[in-house]
Structure 1
Amino acid sequence: MKNHNIELHVLKVRQPIGEFFIASIQPKVLVDISYADVRRLAEEERDVEKYLGIQRPISLKRIKDIKQYIEGRDATFPTSVIISVDERCAEYEPKTEFTGILRLKPYLPEKGVNEESIPINRIAKVLDGQHRIASFLSDDKQLTFDFNDRNFDINLSIFIGADISEQANIFATVNLAQTKVNKNLVYDLTELAKTPSPHKTCHNIAVALDRETTSPLHKRIKRLGTATPGRQFEPLTQASFVEALVKFISINPVDDRNDLLNGKKLIPANNDELQKVPFRNLFIENKEVDIAEILYNYFNAVKKKWPKSWDDISKTGNLLPKSNAFKALMKYLKDDVYLQIVGDEIGRIPTTKEFSKYFSKIELNDKDFTTRNFSPGSGGQSTFLKMLRGEIGVDDMIEKKRN
């Protein structure tokens, strides 16, 4: 793993859920990228299980049995370990229609960007196969790699950019197909995956805005971090959309999910709470359409301000249509725009014209959305947000780049 980067030769698989990749990987490498997730196996619930509101029992005996089994001369794991990888940690280089190189790497946000880094041992979220991976670790508390390295590669299925709703769907689907999983869990998983939650609502809105032909986000959202067949340009990942929107709805989405799962009614937010999560009561009142319409009008205003950049289908050099610009625009909407427009009428749907007023004084023109002005990654996101807020102007940005 030179420079902590991992290069895998992969096969691309197309299925109704989207695209994913299949690879052969050495146990040591798989442990390296999933260590943090596997370690939580013995310490706490994983994200998917929290989202579903379940506790999947951990069987130390099962790990011990698998550990003994893999030492045998005829050991085999013919079925895939399944992982989900953040799209910021993955780059895919196609070689043929169905083959290519998938590069996995840590993510380190640029200075000034309020995002968590993703180290090498947290690249992979394990959706299925935790016990098999754990069988390659030592029995002590250090959980270090402990396997006599022989010809034992692991069959790996890799989903890129799956949001938590998609991860739960995959988790449920896989476990329904496994007869050795606790039957009560098997019977419950399908309904659990469908239970309302802040993430599920954000997922639904992403799908709706992507499908609606008049939407400014029509056919622009990648469902699983890879291109949808038949589409030329999908600059925005669904995971980025969901992660940005959920902050308008819930301070603790997992707690909300568990309360709804347990049949509890969520208490409407008061005015002070709505300053932090302005769409919360719309969520509680099942007004997904209203939230979608707010975003529809807001991004229509963005499109009207910078029409050429918004519709530019080139894949390099234009920040505006991409996930980092989307994150900046959503933060601008939440912290600087929406509450200023609606005042005491939180939940009201502003018009495109109302939103447009907040873009009218911004100096940026279509021609300014270049990599020279906005560096790729989180640095460009930070610069764009400062420009939206009027903290810097075009001249300031150009002067900074010169220095």
Structure 2
Amino acid sequence: MNYLEIYAIRVHQELSDFYITSIRAGDLLKFTFSEKLEYTDENGKLKGNQRKIDEKRLKEIGTYISSVEMSFPNSIILAANYSEAGELVDDEAERWDIDSIDSNLYKIAIPTDKKLAAIVDGQHRLMGFGEKYLKDQSKLDIELPCAIFFDLPNSYQAFLFATINGNQKRVDKSLALEQFGFNVEDEPQQTWTPEKLAVYFTRTLNFKESPIKGHIKIAPKISTSLKKEVFSSQKDWSISTATIVDGILGLITSNAKRDRVEMAQENIWGKRSRSMVSNIRDKSPLRIQYLDRDDDYIFKIIFNYLSAIKETLWKTYDPKSYIFKTVGVQALFDVLKRILQINILTEQNDFKSLLETAQIYDFSSSAVQASGIGRKDIRNAILLTMEIINQDILTENDLNKINDFKKKSPEN
């Protein structure tokens, strides 16, 4: 994997922190992508999340770039760590990574072999540097200002794009909000895609009374390089919006984009409904409830589970414990998914009694890794204490790690 290293400053705003830097136009063309948003026919079918490409405008931009008075002071807005399939990239070896240099200076490592950054705003500016429109290829060395958001969910990408461009004639703000879930209250319930429902639940959990109210932020999944900075300065815990959205999605769909594309074949005020994906084979544990529009039941399950975690594994905040970090929360959603799959819940056997067994662990142990391996280890440890998995299926290395997680008695 080849990487480009650049320096950036952090900007703190209400929606999310983002990072300001400059990147060569030629490099941006290599590792960014955009997907246009448009009504595709008279029935209002939707596709993408960007403006339709304007060839005339691109030719004009290409000519402007070649002029001696060329200047693009406005930032190109990027959403890093999303694939062209619309999926959040979890593999640390592929993700854009951030490393703290000092109080407000950061180094960003960008993998250049794959397109893993969506263009939220500025696609025409950048595409004007394409070979088709730019005669002088030396202009590819021109640096363009960029504002980089990390792990910004698709719904928030559309919301940011619509907010920036909503007053311009070329962009229909409601169109972007319609597709990505910021106005679900105004839409028929049967038309909500899994993504819309997950975003709606996440926003409800964050802004109304819930076990994690105020703890969900639009922020990058914390990388190993930022671990020390976050642990040393953070007074209260927070988790990324993407982590919660992905966790909820895993309960109701195995492929969110597939469902969105399928349901987009009909207009929301026409024949669109969840039944359009009912024939798709999907073993997600709450899939039937999603198809039956039993959203209250789904939310109650998630709410009760998070409440039980708050009373057990989140009872005492430890800034060094990974149970409050991305890998820990991902593992907790994995555990919920497994609990629901084997259907072991009864009135006597609730979430709290199950999770109490996992309080023997210290997830701030140095044995825990902030990676996909760490997620697996935390999940296995919790499932093992619940007796949901048998230790015979775990390797000796897995068991040794789980044993290292156990809290040490004072005499030890």
TM-score by length of structure 1 reads 0.72
Q: Which residue matches 2:205? A: 209
Q: Which residue matches 1:249? A: 252
Matches within 5 A, 1:387-402: 387-390=381-384, 391-392=390-391, 396-397=397-398, 399=400
1:100-153 residue CA offsets vs partner (Å, 9 max, x unmatched): 3252444xxxxxxxxxxxx6532311112222222223239xx9x973158732
1:208 partner letter? T
Q: Does the CA contact (< 8 Å) of 1:90 and 1:160 recur in 2?
A: no
1:94 Cα deviation from its structure 2 partner: 7.3
- 2:239 aligned with 1:218: no
Larger mean CA deviation between 276-285 and 156-165 belongs to 276-285
1:301-338 residue CA offsets vs partner (Å, 9 max, x unmatched): 3344435xx53341x4x22111112222212222x212
Distance 2:4 2:369 in 1: 22
Q: 1:340 aligns with which of 339, 342, 348?
A: 342
1:154 partner letter? L
- 2:127 aligned with 1:134: yes
Q: Does the CA contact (< 8 Å) of 2:308 and 2:351 recur in 1?
A: yes
Q: Does the CA contact (< 8 Å) of 1:10 and 1:21 recur in 2?
A: yes
Q: Residue 63 of structure 2: SS of its match in structure 1?
A: helix
Going from structure 1 to structure 2, the CA distance change for 1:357 and 1:331 (only over 3 Å counts) comes to same
Matches within 5 A, 1:303-322: 303-307=310-314, 311-314=316-319, 316=320, 318-322=321-325
Identity %: 20
Q: Which residue matches 1:159? A: 149
Q: Does the CA contact (< 8 Å) of 1:332 and 1:388 recur in 2?
A: yes
1:235-283 residue CA offsets vs partner (Å, 9 max, x unmatched): 4211111122113223433136524636322229879967425155347
Distance 2:77 2:366 in 1: 39
Q: Residue 302 of structure 2: SS of its match in structure 1?
A: helix
- 2:128 aligned with 1:122: no
Q: Residue 157 of structure 1: SS of its match in structure 2?
A: strand
Matches within 5 A, 1:320-359: 320-334=323-337, 336-341=338-343, 354-359=350-355
Going from structure 1 to structure 2, the CA distance change for 1:91 and 1:262 (only over 3 Å counts) comes to farther
Distance 2:381 2:307 in 1: 19
Q: Which residue matches 2:361? A: 366
Q: Does the CA contact (< 8 Å) of 1:105 and 1:123 recur in 2?
A: no
Distance 1:161 1:278 in 2: 25
Distance 2:279 2:70 in 1: 60
Q: Does the CA contact (< 8 Å) of 2:77 and 2:147 recur in 1?
A: yes
Distance 1:352 1:95 in 2: 52
Q: Residue 17 of structure 2: SS of its match in structure 1?
A: strand
1:190 Cα deviation from its structure 2 partner: 4.9
What residue ranges of structure 2 are gaps of 5+ in the alignment? 82-88, 90-94, 185-191, 223-232, 385-389, 404-412
Going from structure 1 to structure 2, the CA distance change for 1:357 and 1:396 (only over 3 Å counts) comes to farther
Q: Which residue matches 2:8? A: 9
- 2:235 aligned with 1:232: yes
- 2:286 aligned with 1:278: yes
Distance 1:238 1:352 in 2: 32
Q: Does the CA contact (< 8 Å) of 2:263 and 2:273 recur in 1?
A: no
Q: Does the CA contact (< 8 Å) of 1:298 and 1:355 recur in 2?
A: yes
Q: Residue 373 of structure 1: SS of its match in structure 2?
A: coil
Going from structure 1 to structure 2, the CA distance change for 1:188 and 1:401 (only over 3 Å counts) comes to closer
Q: Residue 292 of structure 1: SS of its match in structure 2?
A: helix
Going from structure 1 to structure 2, the CA distance change for 1:338 and 1:84 (only over 3 Å counts) comes to same
Distance 2:27 2:212 in 1: 38
Q: Does the CA contact (< 8 Å) of 1:233 and 1:313 recur in 2?
A: no
Going from structure 1 to structure 2, the CA distance change for 1:151 and 1:134 (only over 3 Å counts) comes to closer
Larger mean CA deviation between 17-26 and 70-79 belongs to 17-26
- For these two proteins, the number of residue pairs brought into alignment is 354
Q: Does the CA contact (< 8 Å) of 2:26 and 2:141 recur in 1?
A: no
What residue ranges of structure 1 are gaps of 5+ in the alignment? 107-118, 344-349
Q: Does the CA contact (< 8 Å) of 1:198 and 1:283 recur in 2?
A: no
Distance 1:53 1:67 in 2: 24
TM-score by length of structure 2 reads 0.70
Q: Which residue matches 2:230? A: none
